[in-house]
Amino acid sequence: MAKPEKAGTEEPLVVPFAAPTDRADGTTPAASTEELAGVEAARLCDDKYFGGAGLDSPAAKGLLGGKGAGLVTLARLGLPVPPGAVVTTAACEAYTAWRDARKGEPEAPPHDDIASPASAAVADGSNGGAAPELAGHCLPAEVWMEVLRGVRSIEWAHGRMLGSLEYPLLLSVRSGAAVSMPGMMDTVLNLGVCEANVGALGPAKFGWDCLRRFREMYGSVVLGVPRDAFERECDAAREAAGGVATDAELSADQMRELAARQAQVIKAHGCCIPDDVYEQLAQSVAAVFRSFQGSRARTYRRVHGLTGLRGTAVTIQAMVFGNRGGDSGAGVAFSRDPASGERGLYGEWAANAQGEDVVSGTRTPLALQDLRARLPRVYARLRECCDTLEAHYKDMQDTEFTFEEGTLFMLQTRAGKRTGRAAVRIAYSLVKEGIIDQTEALMRVEASHVEQVLMPSIPLATTQTQSYADAVIAKGLPAGPGAAVGKIVFSSAKAEELAAQGVPVLLVRTETSADDIAGMAAAAGVLTARGGVTSHAAVVARGWGKPCIVGAGEISIVPETEATDGPASSTPVAAAGAQGGIEIGTSTQTHAAAPAGLGSASAGAPGTSMVLRITAQKDKANRGAPLSTKTDAGSAGAAGGAEDASAMCDTLFLAEGTTLTINGTTGEVLLGGTHGVCAAHTTHELDTLLEWADATSSLRVLANADTPEDALAARAHGAVGIGLVRTEHMWFASPQRVAAIRRLILEGAFEGTDSHDVDAKVPKEGDQQQKGASAPPPSATPPAAVDVAAFQRSDFRAIFEAMSGLPVTIRLLDPPLHEFLPDVSALDDRGERGDTIRKQYMALARAMSLPYELVTQRARALAERNPMMGLRGCRLGIMRPELTAMQATAVIEAACDASEAGFTPMPKIMVPLVSCTEEYAHQAAVIEDACNAVLQRRGFLRATRSHSSAAGDGFVPAGATAEDDDELAAEARRELDEASEKPCLSYDVGVMIETPRAALIAAELAPRCAFFSFGSNDLTQLAYGFSRDDAQAGFLASYVEKRLLAHDPFVSIDKAGVGRLIWWAASAGRAANEHLHVSLCGEHAGDARSVAFLVREARLDSVSCSPARVPATRLAAAHAEILAARENGTTGPAAHSAVVGVGV
């Protein structure tokens, strides 16, 4: 075989494959022949090119693509697979380089320069021309010659010839990258058919059907003719045939006429299909190569974070025909249910159809159980093949199949896309069935799968209520579990536009195509009128964990005129109300205006607004709920009210922008958005899987929690402590708390002034400002501090009790003080906003018994030009030490309260935004003085570090249960009580590493600290010099798109920069203090890629993320440990004593 020009490589450009008995005469090809039979080619590919790693290895899939590797495997297993040849990713790379080098040159010579048109093929079975080598001008010569050799092997195995008029071979040309990207790249089917050989294919209707399908796909994929133009002709043909539902119901003459009209569509767009079948093949291969760089594929890779792919392989394969009659068909089969994970054959099929009809969603297929009833022998053979494949791959398989006149052929196999719930159940079941071990099960489940299991849903009890039933307006096939609420939009562009504005949307389409990928990514959920659970919409949404309903036959997207032209007595009209509700009227009424940005011509003819039509079934009992036109809460009904609207009509019209709810678990579509959507609960399988993860990982996963409710949720999700309590978040819990903290902030400003009768001087609303008034003298403890300390003490105690026996890390006040005050910049505004702000300051002045002018002067003095770099964090505590002392006092008072109540508090106090050792030393001294004063007054003895070591510094062993926690805590307390007659309480003081300087002086800080905790959000901002909010709203997406950055550094840790700072500080800190506990509490703690770095390279002891992300982070930590162990050839958690450098 010809090799790529790249020196030193032995990668093949084309790899043929065939099942051992695929020749038309039933004989087995000899493996020693020049053309190479598929089994031999697969063996050579396996042993020679992948070092014996096998076709399941990443190297094999990287070269052959996932689809190609699967087909070669099918052939090797002896399963029925049509012969074919894989044009490898090495060929794709060669094509891309060759095409880039030829930019500016004509892509192809004129068609009449081609020497061998298929129409000139001789009737003796020649393959369509004397010089096929001349047809490959759109591909590099070495690639084309290997493609021709692959075609020869297919002809030889199948007994038919490409371009022959008597024994024509028809080919499929399909994409297949190393990672599955369903529907994102292009396919051409039925290549090799022409008007001269349709009669040799069999029945006339079948031949013309193949020709019109080829013209549609070649025209849209290779020539760029809009697919809608072909669809309109199909719609017209079905209408002319009496309104038949599918193309399969057309007669032979009607199919021939349709094929002719498809040719006219191509001609009308200034294009033509070349006569030479080999040029068709070369152009099709080139088009599939190019589709890897198409907008759909690029968007899919961006959404999924796929990088480093070499391109796409192209599979050229002999066609088998599911559209040959009633005993033929095509479908998709899963070896287990991809939605629930239940064991058993699951999928869909369509009779007298090709596979594209099923996966594209243009036909609403039948369930596989129907195939079992109609064609039991085909079903039994399919089940046997799926069982063989699952046993081989040890994973749930997603297969495509076709059966022609009762004979089954397998066309594809791959690991099936599955919901999060199914992924967890399948991994757990495979362990229980003895197929895989616990480690492999953990690797089969992604962090996103865990999040999907815990995604919002509608409780079963709610779905059984009458109010829920009344709200159901349509039903389809449940394709993606969970529930979503949003405003309906009819185009991907509108979905992207509104989602970017923070508006939740539901993308509603007749059927989705790969062009809708960006809109699907932006939408909260997807609803389609056509398609099955294996259609494009279902596969993509299921992979993303998005709620999705497909095949909702009661809905259709129609021009608005259809809603206003019908009989007034039978057609209600629903339009988006002002509050997102629904207003009901008759067809003679004018639609209410849609929300801003909605209601445009997002579908249909230019300038035509579209609406969603929902047609009630005549037998509503079959649907399980009546057609309802009830309004959302707060929306007014019209034309007699909503209660009798369903009695007066059979059809409902909804304007774009109407709020709907979709229940992807049941397939129900509901009017409005108030249907009890709530967070899902965990499952036994997930709990067990996470126990395995904890036993695998040495990284402790804590949670960020600011309230007792957050703490309880964190513990329920398996957090082994609280890694970040943001004290300032408690201050916004009520107006009373906000008022107290505002008084505390402003009371410290009035030193050295005299007290007067301020009642007469505090202005009433509308009074002029008083000048020359003074404030009372300062006191050691400002009155407001007492109020603030009281509610903080209460909150801290509740958190300590919720996390008894586990560490709770409390960060001292961090944000600038002006953030807690009304916006002083609006004080000079003469408009409504200014009036509101002035009234707030007047009320604040009155509550403080201080002059309005002094209060506003102090507030203005606190404003900063760059507050995020100004007086905040430890700097604030240094300038206002009473704030630090107040908070430290509240922490220890709360800990003493909890201890006396029988709980085991483990407080850790964290100093934020430190840049030098002197700052930390100052704040640590204030904290120690305040805490020790409380302990002395309350009669407690502070425990030493050696005393607290019994509980592992608050971190329990991997896999420990709640009972273990209590035993460890009790043991620690017994040791402490034995050491003194006084009750003991331990606390630690540490530093939050948020500035690059703090990271660089970690060795100086560590001896003074009990712990480090990286605030990775601010550390990233300061390391890059970025403002996170401005950068993410502005240029970061462009940076990633242009590959200036590999990813958003606020989502995943920048290993080369911020990661190096973290690694350096952790390593230097541990070298200076062997007892130092090192953690991270930024948003990166919930990102799987960042967790992998923190485990494998930075070697942190713990991370802290939001409570909802704790389960996924526990799994991500286990993944990191497993991968590290595999690379090192060891088992078990990585040793944290190891020092691993960070590469640049």
Q: Which residues, in sequence order, are CB contacts of 1137 under 8 Å at separation 6+?
A: none
Least confident of 372-381, 593-602, 702-711: 593-602
Separation between Cα atoms, residue 1026 and residue 1035, nearest integer Å:
10
Q: Where in the chain is the domain with CATH 3.50.30.10?
A: 456-679
Considering the entire predicted model, what is its pTM?
A: 0.69
Separation between Cα atoms, residue 785 and residue 1130, nearest integer Å:
55
- The correct CATH number of 197-274 out of 1.10.1740.10, 3.30.70.20, 1.20.80.30, 3.30.565.10 is 1.20.80.30
Task: Pick the more confident residue, 235 or 577.
Answer: 235
List, in sequence order, every residue forming a beta bridge with 993; answer none if it has no partner. Answer: 1014
Separation between Cα atoms, residue 1040 and residue 1035, nearest integer Å:
9
The one-letter code for the residue type at 727 is T
pLDDT band at 323 (very low <50, low <70, confident <90, very high): confident
Q: How is domain 1-103+115-194+275-319 classified at the architecture level of CATH?
A: 2-Layer Sandwich (3.30)
Task: Pick the more confident residue, 1041 or 535.
Answer: 1041
CB environment 88-110: b (16+ within 10 A), e (fewer): bbbbbbbbbebbeeeeeeeeeee
pLDDT higher than threshold 60 for residue 393: yes
pLDDT tens string 100-155: 888 766 554 433 333 333 333 332 333 444 467 777 789 999 999 999 999 999 99
What is the reported pLDDT for 678? Answer: 72
pLDDT higher than threshold 50 for residue 707: yes
Do residues 78 and 11 touch, judged by C-beta distance below 8 A?
Answer: no
Which has the closest alpha carbon to 1093: 1033, 1046, 1129, 1131? 1046
| Alpha carbon 158 to its chain's center | 43
Assign domain 700-990 to a CATH class: alpha beta
Least confident of 201-215, 345-359, 458-472, 625-639: 625-639
User: What is the percentage of the chain residues whose pLDDT exceeds 70?
Assistant: 76
What is the reported pLDDT for 656? Answer: 92
For the annotated catalytic residues, the residue numbers are 536, 1081
pLDDT band at 618 (very low <50, low <70, confident <90, very high): very low
Indicate the average pLDDT of the chain: 79
What is the reported pLDDT for 608? Answer: 63
Tokens in use for 922?
């100052």
Task: Pick the more confident residue, 360 or 1048.
Answer: 1048
pLDDT higher than threshold 50 for residue 1143: no
**Dihedral of the alpha carbons of 313, 318, 322, 327, in degrees to the nearest 10:** -140
What is the reported pLDDT for 726? Answer: 86
The one-letter code for the residue type at 702 is L
Which has the closest alpha carbon to 277: 191, 167, 173? 191
- What angle (nearest 5°) sits at the alpha carbon of residue 333, between those of residues 329 and 334? 180
pLDDT higher than threshold 90 for residue 162: yes
What is the reported pLDDT for 108? Answer: 47
The arithmetic mean of pLDDT across residues 314-324, rounded, is 92
Which has the closest alpha carbon to 890: 736, 783, 785? 785
pLDDT band at 977 (very low <50, low <70, confident <90, very high): low
pLDDT higher than threshold 50 for residue 37: no
pLDDT band at 539 (very low <50, low <70, confident <90, very high): low
pLDDT higher than threshold 80 for residue 650: no
What is the reported pLDDT for 600? Answer: 40
Do residues 187 and 171 touch, judged by C-beta distance below 8 A?
Answer: no
What is the reported pLDDT for 756? Answer: 31
Task: Pick the more confident residue, 910 or 864.
Answer: 910
Separation between Cα atoms, residue 1003 and residue 1074, nearest integer Å:
11
Task: Pick the more confident residue, 798 or 44.
Answer: 798
Separation between Cα atoms, residue 242 and residue 190, nearest integer Å:
28
- Number of Cα atoms under 13 Å in the Cβ half of residue 37: 18
Q: Which residues, in sequence order, are CB contacts of 90 under 8 Å at separation 6+?
A: 4, 9, 11, 12, 13, 63, 310
Separation between Cα atoms, residue 40 and residue 600, nearest integer Å:
59
pLDDT band at 464 (very low <50, low <70, confident <90, very high): confident
Q: Where in the chain is the domain with CATH 3.30.1490.20?
A: 1-103+115-194+275-319
pLDDT higher than threshold 80 for residue 313: yes
The arithmetic mean of pLDDT across residues 1017-1023, rounded, is 92
User: How far, in Å, are 154, 179, 315, 398 from residue 545 at the CA level?
Assistant: 40, 18, 29, 17
- Number of Cα atoms under 13 Å in the Cβ half of residue 606: 0
Least confident of 184-198, 456-470, 564-578, 788-802: 564-578
Tokens in use for 1024?
């890059």
User: What is the percentage of the chain residues whose pLDDT exceeds 90?
Assistant: 46
For the beta carbon of residue 8, count every other beta carbon within 10 angstroms.
Answer: 5
pLDDT band at 944 (very low <50, low <70, confident <90, very high): low
Task: Pick the more confident residue, 235 or 640.
Answer: 235
pLDDT higher than threshold 90 for residue 746: no
Q: How is domain 329-418 classified at the architecture level of CATH?
A: 2-Layer Sandwich (3.30)
pLDDT higher than threshold 70 for residue 974: no
Q: Is 879 exposed, middle or buried (0-12, 13-18, 19+ CB in 10 A)?
A: exposed
List, in sequence order, every residue forming a beta bridge with 1013; answer none if it has no partner. Answer: 992, 1079
The arithmetic mean of pLDDT across residues 911-934, rounded, is 96
What is the reported pLDDT for 35? Answer: 38
Do residues 297 and 254 touch, judged by C-beta distance below 8 A?
Answer: no
Task: Pick the more confident residue, 750 or 320.
Answer: 320
pLDDT higher than threshold 60 for residue 1053: yes
Q: Where in the chain is the domain with CATH 3.30.470.20?
A: 329-418
659 sits in which H/E element = strand 659-663
Tokens in use for 486?
């949003």
What is the reported pLDDT for 706? Answer: 85
Tokens in use for 433?
């069935």
What radius of gyration, in Å, describes the C-alpha atoms of the chain?
35
Do residues 658 and 576 touch, judged by C-beta distance below 8 A?
Answer: yes
Separation between Cα atoms, residue 345 and residue 293, nearest integer Å:
35
Q: Which long-range contacts (CB under 8 A, 24 or more apart) does 255-259 make?
A: 255/205, 255/208, 255/209, 255/212, 256/204, 256/208, 258/208, 258/212, 258/233, 258/234, 259/208, 259/211, 259/212, 259/215
pLDDT higher than threshold 60 for residue 521: yes
Task: Pick the more confident residue, 261 or 465.
Answer: 261
DSSP characters for 489-507? Answer: ESSHHHHHHHHHTT--EEE
What is the reported pLDDT for 54? Answer: 55
Separation between Cα atoms, residue 185 and residue 11, nearest integer Å:
23
Across 421-540, where does the E strand assignment appear? 456-457, 472-475, 477-480, 483-489, 505-509, 525-528
Tokens in use for 704?
């960020």
Is residue 242 left, alpha or beta, with left meaning phi > 0 and alpha meaning psi from -120 to 50?
Answer: left
Which has the closest alpha carbon to 711: 1106, 1084, 1103, 1083? 1106
What is the reported pLDDT for 360? Answer: 67
The arithmetic mean of pLDDT across residues 218-246, rounded, is 92
pLDDT higher than threshold 60 for residue 50: no
Give 19-61 as a 3 state SS string: CCCCCCCCCCCCCCCCCCCHHHHHHHHHHHHCCCCCCCCHHHH
pLDDT higher than threshold 70 for residue 574: no
Q: Which fold has domain 456-679?
A: Glucose Oxidase; domain 1 (3.50.30)
Give 877-913 as a 3 state SS string: HHHCHHHHHHHHHHHHHHHHHHHHCCCCCEEEEEECC
Do residues 820 and 743 touch, judged by C-beta distance below 8 A?
Answer: no
pLDDT tens string 74-84: 998 999 999 99
Across 961-1097, where does the E strand assignment appear? 984-985, 988-993, 1011-1014, 1077-1080
pLDDT tens string 401-410: 999 999 999 9
The arithmetic mean of pLDDT across residues 824-832, rounded, is 83
| Alpha helix ranges (H) inside 464-535 | 466-471, 492-500, 517-522
Q: Which residues, in sequence order, are CB contacts of 32 under 8 Å at separation 6+?
A: none
For the beta carbon of residue 978, count every other beta carbon within 10 angstroms.
Answer: 10
* Helix then strand then coil, % of the chain, to nearest 5: 45, 15, 40
What is the reported pLDDT for 634? Answer: 33
pLDDT tens string 665-694: 788 999 988 777 776 678 899 999 999 999
769 sits in which H/E element = none
What is the reported pLDDT for 592? Answer: 36
